[in-house]
Protein backbone atom coordinates (compact mmCIF):
# COMPACT_ATOMS: atom_id res chain seq x y z
CA UNK A 1 0.00 0.00 0.00
CA UNK A 2 1.24 3.52 -0.75
CA UNK A 3 1.98 5.48 2.39
CA UNK A 4 0.33 8.60 0.96
CA UNK A 5 -2.90 6.63 0.46
CA UNK A 6 -2.83 5.59 4.10
CA UNK A 7 -2.29 9.22 5.05
CA UNK A 8 -5.46 10.10 3.16
CA UNK A 9 -7.34 7.38 5.05
CA UNK A 10 -6.13 8.88 8.34
CA UNK A 11 -7.61 12.22 7.32
CA UNK A 12 -10.88 10.71 6.13
CA UNK A 13 -11.34 8.82 9.41
CA UNK A 14 -9.96 11.31 11.92
CA UNK A 15 -10.22 14.91 10.71
CA UNK A 16 -13.74 15.29 12.12
CA UNK A 17 -12.45 14.28 15.57
CA UNK A 18 -9.09 16.03 15.76
CA UNK A 19 -8.76 18.46 12.85
CA UNK A 20 -6.47 18.20 9.83
CA UNK A 21 -3.35 19.68 11.44
CA UNK A 22 -3.38 17.34 14.43
CA UNK A 23 -4.09 14.30 12.25
CA UNK A 24 -1.09 15.20 10.10
CA UNK A 25 0.99 15.39 13.28
CA UNK A 26 -0.25 11.96 14.40
CA UNK A 27 0.53 10.40 11.03
CA UNK A 28 4.09 11.74 10.87
CA UNK A 29 4.75 10.76 14.47
CA UNK A 30 3.73 7.22 13.53
CA UNK A 31 5.93 6.90 10.48
CA UNK A 32 8.88 8.33 12.41
CA UNK A 33 8.24 5.96 15.30
CA UNK A 34 7.50 2.74 13.41
CA UNK A 35 9.60 3.18 10.27
CA UNK A 36 12.29 5.65 11.43
CA UNK A 37 11.21 7.72 8.45
CA UNK A 38 11.48 11.52 8.58
CA UNK A 39 8.40 13.33 7.33
CA UNK A 40 10.31 14.98 4.49
CA UNK A 41 10.91 11.55 2.97
CA UNK A 42 7.23 11.15 2.10
CA UNK A 43 7.35 14.41 0.17
CA UNK A 44 10.49 13.26 -1.65
CA UNK A 45 9.13 9.76 -2.29
CA UNK A 46 5.36 10.08 -2.87
CA UNK A 47 5.21 6.53 -4.25
CA UNK A 48 6.74 5.03 -1.08
CA UNK A 49 5.01 1.73 -0.33
CA UNK A 50 4.78 -0.22 2.92
CA UNK A 51 4.25 -3.93 3.57
CA UNK A 52 1.01 -5.54 4.70
CA UNK A 53 2.45 -5.97 8.20
CA UNK A 54 3.35 -2.27 8.35
CA UNK A 55 -0.07 -1.37 6.97
CA UNK A 56 -1.76 -3.47 9.67
CA UNK A 57 0.27 -1.66 12.34
CA UNK A 58 -0.95 1.74 11.16
CA UNK A 59 -4.54 0.53 10.88
CA UNK A 60 -4.31 -0.57 14.53
CA UNK A 61 -3.11 2.95 15.41
CA UNK A 62 -6.00 4.38 13.39
CA UNK A 63 -8.48 2.26 15.37
CA UNK A 64 -7.01 3.43 18.68
CA UNK A 65 -7.11 7.07 17.57
CA UNK A 66 -10.76 6.71 16.55
CA UNK A 67 -11.42 5.62 20.14
CA UNK A 68 -9.54 8.76 21.26
CA UNK A 69 -6.68 6.93 22.89
CA UNK A 70 -3.78 9.41 23.29
CA UNK A 71 -1.11 9.07 20.62
CA UNK A 72 1.54 9.03 23.37
CA UNK A 73 0.04 5.88 24.90
CA UNK A 74 -0.32 4.29 21.47
CA UNK A 75 3.36 4.86 20.68
CA UNK A 76 4.39 4.21 24.29
CA UNK A 77 6.59 7.27 24.48
CA UNK A 78 6.68 11.04 24.29
CA UNK A 79 9.17 13.90 24.37
CA UNK A 80 9.59 16.20 27.35
CA UNK A 81 12.17 18.98 27.68
CA UNK A 82 14.17 17.46 24.82
CA UNK A 83 14.26 13.99 26.38
CA UNK A 84 12.42 10.76 25.53
CA UNK A 85 10.05 9.27 28.12
CA UNK A 86 8.14 6.01 28.13
CA UNK A 87 4.50 6.46 29.10
CA UNK A 88 1.51 4.19 29.64
CA UNK A 89 -1.89 4.33 31.31
CA UNK A 90 -0.24 4.34 34.77
CA UNK A 91 1.33 7.77 34.34
CA UNK A 92 0.14 11.16 33.15
CA UNK A 93 1.35 12.31 29.76
CA UNK A 94 3.82 15.15 30.47
CA UNK A 95 2.47 18.58 29.53
CA UNK A 96 4.15 21.70 28.10
CA UNK A 97 3.19 23.59 31.26
CA UNK A 98 5.32 21.19 33.29
CA UNK A 99 8.22 21.86 30.94
CA UNK A 100 7.82 25.50 31.93
CA UNK A 101 8.10 24.51 35.59
CA UNK A 102 11.29 22.55 34.92
CA UNK A 103 12.72 25.45 32.96
CA UNK A 104 11.86 27.86 35.76
CA UNK A 105 13.81 25.75 38.26
CA UNK A 106 16.83 25.33 36.02
CA UNK A 107 16.96 29.06 35.27
CA UNK A 108 16.53 29.89 38.96
CA UNK A 109 19.52 27.82 39.98
CA UNK A 110 22.55 30.10 39.80
CA UNK A 111 25.84 28.97 38.31
CA UNK A 112 27.43 28.91 41.77
CA UNK A 113 24.69 26.58 42.99
CA UNK A 114 25.20 24.27 40.04
CA UNK A 115 28.78 23.77 41.19
CA UNK A 116 27.64 22.39 44.52
CA UNK A 117 25.61 19.25 45.06
CA UNK A 118 22.00 20.32 45.23
CA UNK A 119 19.56 17.98 46.92
CA UNK A 120 16.23 17.88 45.07
CA UNK A 121 12.98 16.06 45.86
CA UNK A 122 10.17 15.61 43.32
CA UNK A 123 6.89 14.63 45.00
CA UNK A 124 4.38 12.74 42.84
CA UNK A 125 6.91 12.00 40.13
CA UNK A 126 4.69 9.92 37.80
CA UNK A 127 6.73 9.25 34.66
CA UNK A 128 9.70 10.91 36.34
CA UNK A 129 9.73 13.74 33.81
CA UNK A 130 10.50 16.53 36.32
CA UNK A 131 13.09 14.65 38.37
CA UNK A 132 14.87 13.18 35.35
CA UNK A 133 14.95 16.46 33.42
CA UNK A 134 16.40 18.24 36.45
CA UNK A 135 18.97 15.49 36.98
CA UNK A 136 19.95 15.66 33.32
CA UNK A 137 20.40 19.43 33.26
CA UNK A 138 21.78 19.81 36.80
CA UNK A 139 24.32 16.95 36.76
CA UNK A 140 25.79 17.79 40.15
CA UNK A 141 22.42 17.48 41.86
CA UNK A 142 21.29 14.51 43.95
CA UNK A 143 17.69 13.85 42.98
CA UNK A 144 14.97 11.94 44.85
CA UNK A 145 11.54 11.11 43.43
CA UNK A 146 8.46 10.02 45.40
CA UNK A 147 5.23 8.45 44.17
CA UNK A 148 2.38 6.48 45.71
CA UNK A 149 2.01 4.24 42.65
CA UNK A 150 4.24 1.19 42.20
CA UNK A 151 3.29 1.03 38.52
CA UNK A 152 4.24 4.66 37.97
CA UNK A 153 7.58 4.11 39.67
CA UNK A 154 8.31 1.19 37.32
CA UNK A 155 7.94 3.54 34.36
CA UNK A 156 9.94 6.29 36.07
CA UNK A 157 12.82 3.91 36.74
CA UNK A 158 12.85 2.85 33.08
CA UNK A 159 12.93 6.50 32.06
CA UNK A 160 15.87 7.19 34.35
CA UNK A 161 17.77 4.37 32.65
CA UNK A 162 16.83 5.57 29.16
CA UNK A 163 18.10 9.05 29.96
CA UNK A 164 21.19 7.87 31.85
CA UNK A 165 20.56 9.61 35.17
CA UNK A 166 20.72 8.41 38.76
CA UNK A 167 17.53 8.98 40.77
CA UNK A 168 16.62 7.62 44.20
CA UNK A 169 13.00 6.49 43.86
CA UNK A 170 10.77 6.23 46.93
CA UNK A 171 7.31 4.69 47.19
CA UNK A 172 5.09 6.60 49.57
CA UNK A 173 1.97 8.70 50.09
CA UNK A 174 2.78 12.29 51.02
CA UNK A 175 -0.67 12.57 52.66
CA UNK A 176 0.37 10.06 55.31
CA UNK A 177 2.58 11.00 58.21
CA UNK A 178 4.63 7.80 58.03
CA UNK A 179 5.77 8.94 54.57
CA UNK A 180 7.06 12.16 56.11
CA UNK A 181 8.91 10.12 58.71
CA UNK A 182 10.48 7.91 56.06
CA UNK A 183 11.74 10.98 54.22
CA UNK A 184 13.13 12.62 57.36
CA UNK A 185 16.37 10.67 56.90
CA UNK A 186 16.79 12.49 53.61
CA UNK A 187 15.91 15.90 55.03
CA UNK A 188 17.59 19.22 54.31
CA UNK A 189 16.61 19.49 50.67
CA UNK A 190 17.65 22.49 48.57
CA UNK A 191 14.61 22.19 46.32
CA UNK A 192 11.25 20.47 46.71
CA UNK A 193 9.08 20.41 43.60
CA UNK A 194 5.67 18.91 42.91
CA UNK A 195 3.01 18.70 40.25
CA UNK A 196 0.37 16.96 42.40
CA UNK A 197 -3.24 16.11 41.53
CA UNK A 198 -5.15 19.38 41.32
CA UNK A 199 -8.15 19.05 39.00
CA UNK A 200 -11.37 19.27 40.99
CA UNK A 201 -14.18 16.83 40.21
CA UNK A 202 -16.33 19.82 39.21
CA UNK A 203 -13.83 20.61 36.44
CA UNK A 204 -14.20 17.23 34.74
CA UNK A 205 -16.43 18.72 32.08
CA UNK A 206 -13.45 20.80 30.92
CA UNK A 207 -11.32 17.70 30.40
CA UNK A 208 -11.14 16.25 26.89
CA UNK A 209 -12.40 12.66 26.52
CA UNK A 210 -8.98 11.37 25.44
CA UNK A 211 -7.61 12.51 28.82
CA UNK A 212 -10.64 11.67 30.95
CA UNK A 213 -11.02 8.15 29.59
CA UNK A 214 -7.35 7.16 29.49
CA UNK A 215 -5.10 8.98 31.94
CA UNK A 216 -4.91 7.88 35.60
CA UNK A 217 -7.51 9.66 37.73
CA UNK A 218 -5.33 9.07 40.80
CA UNK A 219 -2.83 11.56 39.36
CA UNK A 220 -5.42 14.03 38.10
CA UNK A 221 -8.35 14.60 40.42
CA UNK A 222 -8.97 15.90 43.92
CA UNK A 223 -12.12 16.25 45.98
CA UNK A 224 -14.09 19.45 45.41
CA UNK A 225 -14.20 20.12 49.16
CA UNK A 226 -10.46 19.75 49.79
CA UNK A 227 -8.71 20.62 46.52
CA UNK A 228 -5.49 21.81 48.15
CA UNK A 229 -4.86 18.76 50.34
CA UNK A 230 -1.68 17.80 48.49
CA UNK A 231 -0.35 21.37 48.52
CA UNK A 232 -0.97 21.66 52.26
CA UNK A 233 0.74 18.32 53.00
CA UNK A 234 3.73 19.15 50.79
CA UNK A 235 4.05 22.66 52.22
CA UNK A 236 4.02 21.24 55.77
CA UNK A 237 6.65 18.72 54.74
CA UNK A 238 8.77 21.45 53.15
CA UNK A 239 8.66 23.57 56.29
CA UNK A 240 10.42 20.75 58.15
CA UNK A 241 12.63 19.38 55.38
CA UNK A 242 13.92 22.31 53.35
CA UNK A 243 17.15 24.04 54.26
CA UNK A 244 16.96 27.67 55.24
CA UNK A 245 16.49 29.82 52.12
CA UNK A 246 15.81 26.69 50.05
CA UNK A 247 12.96 26.72 47.53
CA UNK A 248 9.57 25.08 47.05
CA UNK A 249 8.05 24.87 43.56
CA UNK A 250 4.54 23.85 42.53
CA UNK A 251 2.53 23.41 39.38
CA UNK A 252 -0.96 24.54 40.33
CA UNK A 253 -4.63 24.68 39.36
CA UNK A 254 -5.08 27.91 37.41
CA UNK A 255 -8.34 28.64 39.24
CA UNK A 256 -6.81 28.32 42.72
CA UNK A 257 -3.68 30.42 42.39
CA UNK A 258 -4.42 32.91 45.16
CA UNK A 259 -5.57 30.19 47.55
CA UNK A 260 -2.48 28.06 46.92
CA UNK A 261 -0.19 31.06 47.30
CA UNK A 262 -1.81 31.81 50.66
CA UNK A 263 -0.71 28.38 51.94
CA UNK A 264 2.93 29.37 51.45
CA UNK A 265 2.39 32.82 52.93
CA UNK A 266 0.79 31.33 56.03
CA UNK A 267 3.70 28.87 56.31
CA UNK A 268 6.03 31.88 56.51
CA UNK A 269 7.69 31.38 53.12
CA UNK A 270 9.20 34.52 51.64
CA UNK A 271 9.47 35.78 48.04
CA UNK A 272 6.31 33.85 47.17
CA UNK A 273 5.63 34.29 43.46
CA UNK A 274 2.59 33.24 41.45
CA UNK A 275 3.76 32.77 37.86
CA UNK A 276 1.72 32.53 34.67
CA UNK A 277 2.34 29.98 31.92
CA UNK A 278 2.70 30.85 28.24
CA UNK A 279 -1.09 30.77 27.89
CA UNK A 280 -1.49 33.45 30.54
CA UNK A 281 -2.86 31.12 33.23
CA UNK A 282 -1.67 31.04 36.85
CA UNK A 283 0.32 27.81 36.67
CA UNK A 284 3.47 27.92 38.82
CA UNK A 285 4.20 28.91 42.38
CA UNK A 286 7.54 29.32 44.09
CA UNK A 287 8.59 30.34 47.54
CA UNK A 288 11.70 30.45 49.69
CA UNK A 289 11.87 28.98 53.17
CA UNK A 290 12.29 31.80 55.64
CA UNK A 291 13.89 29.93 58.52
- Residue 134: give its domain's CATH number: 3.40.50.150
Residues 116, 15 within the same domain:
no
Between CA 113 and CA 203 the distance in angstroms is 40
Read off the pTM. 0.93
Do 123 and 262 lie in one domain? The reply is yes
CA-CA distance, 273 to 250, in Å (whole number)?
11
Residue pair 136/284 in contact (Cβ under 8 Å)? The answer is no
* Residues 228-241 pLDDT 10s: 999 999 999 999 89
What average pLDDT does this structure show over 209-227? Answer: 88
56 and 132 belong to one structural domain? no
**Are 55 and 98 found together in one domain?**
no
Q: Are residues 49 and 140 in the same domain?
A: no
Same domain, 94 and 225: yes
Cβ burial of 152 (10 Å; 0-12, 13-18, 19+) is buried
82 falls within a domain:
no
Pair (197, 98) in one structural domain: yes
Domain that holds residue 59: 3-67
Interatomic CA distance for residues 109 and 32, integer angstroms: 35
Q: Would you say residue 184 lies in a domain? A: yes
**% pLDDT > 70, the chain:** 95
Query: pLDDT tens, 246-287?
Result: 999 999 999 999 999 999 999 999 999 999 999 999 999 999
- Whether 137 and 51 share a structural domain: no
The domain tally of the chain equals: 2
What's the pLDDT at 185? 62
SS3 label, residue 18: helix
Residues 53 and 188 in one domain: no
CB atoms within 10 A of CB 84: 11
* Structural domain includes residue 77: no
Residue range 46-100, pLDDT digits in tens: 898 999 999 999 999 999 999 999 999 999 999 999 999 999 999 999 999 999 9
Same domain, 59 and 93: no
DSSP 217: G
* Residue 105 located in a structural domain: yes
Clarify whether residues 159 and 106 are in a common domain.
yes
pLDDT confidence bin for 227, thresholds 50/70/90: very high
Amino acid sequence: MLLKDLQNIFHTELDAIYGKVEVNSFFFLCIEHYFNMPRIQLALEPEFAITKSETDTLFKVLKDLRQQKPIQYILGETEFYGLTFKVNENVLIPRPETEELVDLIIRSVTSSEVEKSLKILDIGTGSGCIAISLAKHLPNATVYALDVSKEALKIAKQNAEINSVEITFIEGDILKQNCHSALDAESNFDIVVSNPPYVRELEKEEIKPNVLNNEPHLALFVDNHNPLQFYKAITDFAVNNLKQNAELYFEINQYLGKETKQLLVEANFKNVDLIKDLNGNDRMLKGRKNK
